[in-house]
A and B are shown apart, each in its own frame.
Chain A
Amino acid sequence: MPLYLNDDQAMLQDSARDFISGEAPVSHLREFRDKNCKDGFGHALWKQFGEMGFTGILVSEEDGGLGLGNVEAGVVLEEIGRNLTPSPFLTTSVVGVEALNAAGKDMRDRWLPGILSGETVLGVAIDESIKHRPENIAMKAERSGNGFKLNGKKQFVIQGASADMLIVAARTGGSAGETDGLTVFAVEKDAAGLSAESARLVDSAMAAHVEFDNVEVNADAVIGEVDQGWDVLTRMLRAGRVGSAAEAVGVGSGAMDITFEYLKQRKQFGTLIGAFQALQHRAAHLYSEMEVARSAVLKAQQLLDEGSAGAELMVSVAKAKAGRATNLAVREGVQMHGGIGMTDEYDIGLYMKRDRALAEFMGDANYHANRVAEMNGY
């Protein structure tokens, strides 16, 4: 498979680009931030995502979706990144759907139609510490009656307080640090003993600290097999990591574009500042880094969609590289804008905030560079 978008994917890109930049440009984010929206995203836009078919990209055709892959989901995510669009797409239609794809038919029938129509929002509850360490999950799920009783805390659950259902990874056996003994559960928002406290993040997204106090779920709330949740979690993590890498490439590209535009219109010393070689070389370096990142992300998406054994390594390469390159893009972006780069009025600062939040989602560049070293055996 050649390493560029095929014709269908390029068409999807055109329509996603037109739709998202038309309906949800950066001003859309500002609107939701300024009205202090408790969800941090727009339900009307989410329904439009459903109408466009985006919400069903990773849902199989049998379940009413488009049956496409990570490349196509990435096409949409890149445009979300470029426009800083607040959207449940990554958690619901990528990570959430990947979990549900591993679930039984009853559960898929229960949740997928609402996702397809852009009504249902899912939250993903994995992290328990300030850094992403999924292998260290300690939250307990003890057998109780016909089901399980969940006790513990999760954090950095994006849009967790607005979610209709949380996908929760908890320990039914083994101990922290082991991959055996994990189980993935679907927990409905009104379950007794479940409480979510939201905080607004630096990028205006809402993220919840979620507490589970003797939350009872039935056996049919289990996604995949009991104690074998690592398999489900791995699917979720791969899709979420490569997806957030794709979104990061969009954030970096968006930051880069507005910065280069600025270099071409700002005059100092009687000349356009983009004519200064000191800035030109940095701009060219940044462009190169973003192209490398973009290539790594596409390669990882293709390998995942092919079911290749090399996908795991490349997913971490992609998340690490996209993280580094996008961080460079937003830092250079603010610096090259000069004083106005520090103002709330200009968008470049919003890109910097989004990059920071996205970097932490499912492991930052340090975490993934370390994983690459581990997978390469050193």
Chain B
Amino acid sequence: MSDLETFRAETRDWLAANCPAEMREPVRDDDDVCWGGRNWTFKNDAQKAWLDACVAKGYTVPEWPEPYGGAGLSPAEGKVLKQEMARISARIPLSSFGIWMLGPALLQFGTEEQKVHYLNQIAQGKIRWCQGYSEPGSGSDLVSLQTYGEDKGDHWIVNGQKVWTSYADKADWIFCLVRTDKNDKYRGISFLLFDMASEGVSTKPILLISGNSPFCETFFDDVKVPKEQLVGELNRGWDVAKYLLGHEREMISNMGGGDGSGSLGKAVKPVLGTDAMGRLDEPVLRAQLAELDVDGLAFKAMAERFMDELKTKKNHPATPNMMKYVGTELNKRRHELVMSAGGSEALEWESEDSGEGAKSRGWLRTKANSIEGGTSEVMLNVISKRILEMPDG
């Protein structure tokens, strides 16, 4: 048996012994997704047991080095673990902006001390993070941000406002872009980490068209941030931010054709009914669902190729922008068809049967996919300029 096959067999055994049956059920409610953090209440014992088992094994962040809380798996082993988890429909033990976004940036730009301190906390699900990037006047033109950190010797005093801060009202810490030099647009931004419990931090949820409030406005009023909480070089936070945005785009793009998004046509068949040939009784919708399956499976292949290439650094650095563009547009299309196939029942907004409007709220939520983390239009600009090297106007 090759090393990889041995690893697969061991992983299979470990999962069988450690992944509770409840954690192999599909995610139904928001609190089925474990985000960890200081204020997390586990939904049940199984959720806690699964997280604890993964933390002990380093499997919340399997490919991170062991000193930082990972299992130090090779890319090939990481892929095997993912496949084996998918095989038994195991839930992700810990969802975390720390894992998906901040962690990779710390691995690249953090000091050794920062890595040991923050990465272990992230891996163990002890700190829930949020991201302070967009501001009311700085959306697509992020680099124009105005939140200011005034140098006070051993600390900064931060004043300003962020917006679209995901789960800011639930987060423990924030990674935040702050202007530390007003004279240089690009080189005047620094990447700071600070506790959301600091004096002067306040949040206000934003009610969205989905009726939910996953995002907040976040206000900083004379917030004191110690200097050792700077990541990377002073005034070079834009480099960290760009690197991290790449990971954010990758994360968002994976929502499109990624795991658990099997054939929609197959899923809606019992509801819509079939003709004498066993085909969906809505021929035009069926055709659209078929095209969605084609694009979904093809995108899934691209996501796999992207992840494989990433590990050998074969990708063009702007590839995540393409992934994000394609993945989010696909996800929006999927949810348009979820609504279409769901008919009048999918319109229900407040009813137990509809899971309090899960379909309609989910559909509306996806409209943000191609706006958050860089709009589709900005993605197309980046693809055009950086990958295709189209001329400037």
Is B390's CB under 8 angstroms from A280's CB? Answer: yes
Binary flags per residue of B24-38, CB closer than 8 Å to A gives 1, else 0: 000000000000000
Q: Note all chain B residues with C-beta closer than 8 A to A272.
A: 391
Of B266, B279, B298, B309, which one neighbours A321 at CB under 8 angstroms?
B298
Q: Note all chain A residues with C-beta closer than 8 A to B390.
A: 260, 263-264, 274-275, 280, 283
Is A281's CB under 8 angstroms from B294's CB? Answer: no
Is B301's CB under 8 angstroms from A295's CB? Answer: yes
Interface residues on B, range: 35 or more
Q: Note all chain B residues with C-beta closer than 8 A to A369.
A: 287, 290-291, 293-294
Q: Note all chain B residues with C-beta closer than 8 A to A313.
A: 297
In the complex, chain A residues 338-378 whose Cβ is within 8 Å of any chain B Cβ: 365, 368-370, 372-374, 376-378
Residue B45, interface by CB 8 Å: no
Q: Note all chain B residues with C-beta closer than 8 A to A365.
A: 294
Of A264, A277, A299, A370, which one neighbours B381 at CB under 8 angstroms?
A277
Q: How far is the CB of B269 from chain A (nearest CB, A)?
A: 5
- Beyond A287-B322, A288-B325, A295-B302, whether A275 also contacts B297 by CB under 8 A is no
Q: Note all chain A residues with C-beta closer than 8 A to B263.
A: 376-378
A352 vs B119: C-alpha distance in the bound complex, in angstroms? 53
A281 vs B384: C-alpha distance in the bound complex, in angstroms? 7
- Beyond A4-B308, A378-B269, whether A373 also contacts B325 by CB under 8 A is no
In the complex, chain A residues 310-351 whose Cβ is within 8 Å of any chain B Cβ: 313-314, 316-318, 320-321, 324
Q: Note all chain A residues with C-beta closer than 8 A to B289.
A: 373, 378
Is A372's CB under 8 angstroms from B293's CB? Answer: yes
Q: How far is the CB of B146 from chain A (nearest CB, A)?
A: 27
Is A292's CB under 8 angstroms from B326's CB? Answer: yes
Is B301's CB under 8 angstroms from A3's CB? Answer: yes
Is B287's CB under 8 angstroms from A274's CB? Answer: no
A292 vs B290: C-alpha distance in the bound complex, in angstroms? 16
A289 vs B309: C-alpha distance in the bound complex, in angstroms? 18
Residue B86, interface by CB 8 Å: no
Interface hub of B266, B290, B308 (most chain A Cβ within 10 A): B290
A44 vs B379: C-alpha distance in the bound complex, in angstroms? 47
Is B301's CB under 8 angstroms from A378's CB? Answer: no
Is B304's CB under 8 angstroms from A299's CB? Answer: yes
Binary flags per residue of A160-202, CB closer than 8 Å to B gives 1, else 0: 0000000000000000000000000000000000000000000
A263 vs B385: C-alpha distance in the bound complex, in angstroms? 13
A377 vs B388: C-alpha distance in the bound complex, in angstroms? 40
Residue B387, interface by CB 8 Å: yes
Of A276, A281, A321, A378, which one neighbours B274 at CB under 8 angstroms?
A378
Residue B295, interface by CB 8 Å: yes
Q: Note all chain B residues with C-beta closer than 8 A to A378.
A: 263, 265-266, 268-269, 274, 279-280, 286, 289
A368 vs B301: C-alpha distance in the bound complex, in angstroms? 17
- Beyond A275-B391, A376-B266, whether A296 also contacts B302 by CB under 8 A is yes
Q: How far is the CB of A198 from chain B (nearest CB, A)?
A: 34
Binary flags per residue of B47-86, CB closer than 8 Å to A gives 1, else 0: 0000000000000000000000000000010000000000
Residue A158, interface by CB 8 Å: no
Q: How far is the CB of B181 from chain A (nearest CB, A)?
A: 31
Is A292's CB under 8 angstroms from B381's CB? Answer: no
Q: Note all chain A residues with C-beta closer than 8 A to B302.
A: 291-292, 295-296
Is B294's CB under 8 angstroms from A280's CB? Answer: no
A176 vs B289: C-alpha distance in the bound complex, in angstroms? 28
Binary flags per residue of B298-313, CB closer than 8 Å to A gives 1, else 0: 1101101100110110
Chief secondary structure at chain B's binding surface = helix
A291 vs B269: C-alpha distance in the bound complex, in angstroms? 31
A365 vs B305: C-alpha distance in the bound complex, in angstroms? 23
Residue A143, interface by CB 8 Å: no
Residue B87, interface by CB 8 Å: no
What is the chain B residue whose CB lies nearest that of A368? B294
A111 vs B90: C-alpha distance in the bound complex, in angstroms? 51
What is the chain A residue whose CB lies nearest that of B308? A2
- Beyond A317-B298, A370-B290, A373-B290, whether A264 also contacts B304 by CB under 8 A is no
Binary flags per residue of A267-294, CB closer than 8 Å to B gives 1, else 0: 0000110111100110111011101110
Residue A298, interface by CB 8 Å: yes
Q: How far is the CB of B279 from chain A (nearest CB, A)?
A: 7
Q: How far is the CB of B204 from chain A (nearest CB, A)?
A: 35
- Beyond A284-B383, A288-B326, A378-B274, whether A264 also contacts B391 by CB under 8 A is yes
A321 vs B299: C-alpha distance in the bound complex, in angstroms? 10
Residue B352, interface by CB 8 Å: no
Residue B153, interface by CB 8 Å: no
Of A263, A276, A285, A317, which one neighbours B294 at CB under 8 angstroms?
A317
- Beyond A298-B305, A369-B294, whether A284 also contacts B391 by CB under 8 A is no
Is B384's CB under 8 angstroms from A317's CB? Answer: no
Is B308's CB under 8 angstroms from A3's CB? Answer: yes
A83 vs B361: C-alpha distance in the bound complex, in angstroms? 49
Q: Note all chain B residues with C-beta closer than 8 A to A277.
A: 381, 393
Q: Note all chain B residues with C-beta closer than 8 A to A368.
A: 294
Residue B377, interface by CB 8 Å: yes
Residue B13, interface by CB 8 Å: no
Binary flags per residue of B366-393, CB closer than 8 Å to A gives 1, else 0: 0000000000010111011101111111
Is B322's CB under 8 angstroms from A291's CB? Answer: yes
What is the chain A residue whose CB lies nearest that of B304? A3
- Beyond A317-B294, A372-B293, A376-B263, whether A288 also contacts B391 by CB under 8 A is no
What is the chain A residue whose CB lies nearest that of B383? A284
Q: How far is the CB of B275 from chain A (nearest CB, A)?
A: 11
Is A376's CB under 8 angstroms from B265's CB? Answer: yes
In the complex, chain A residues 23-68 whose Cβ is within 8 Å of any chain B Cβ: none
Is B388's CB under 8 angstroms from A275's CB? Answer: no
Q: How far is the CB of A117 from chain B (nearest CB, A)?
A: 36
Is A283's CB under 8 angstroms from B384's CB? Answer: yes
Is A3's CB under 8 angstroms from B305's CB? Answer: yes
Q: Note all chain A residues with C-beta closer than 8 A to B389.
A: 264
Is B380's CB under 8 angstroms from A285's CB? Answer: yes
Q: Show 27 A/B contacts (Cβ-Cβ < 8 Å), sorted by A.
A: A4-B308, A4-B312, A263-B390, A264-B389, A271-B391, A275-B391, A277-B393, A280-B385, A281-B381, A285-B380, A287-B388, A292-B295, A292-B298, A292-B301, A292-B326, A296-B302, A299-B301, A313-B297, A314-B301, A321-B294, A369-B293, A372-B290, A373-B293, A376-B293, A377-B266, A378-B268, A378-B269
B positions within 8 Å CB-CB of A: 76, 263, 265-266, 268-269, 274, 279-280, 286-287, 289-291, 293-295, 297-299, 301-302, 304-305, 308-309, 311-312, 314, 322, 325-326, 377, 379-381, 383-385, 387-393
Starting from the known contacts A260-B388, A283-B390, A377-B266, 10 additional A-B residue pairs (CB-CB under 8 Å) come to A264-B389, A274-B390, A275-B390, A285-B325, A288-B326, A296-B302, A316-B294, A317-B293, A320-B291, A369-B293
10 closest cross-chain pairs (CB), A and B: A296-B298, A299-B301, A295-B302, A284-B383, A280-B384, A373-B290, A2-B308, A3-B305, A275-B393, A376-B263
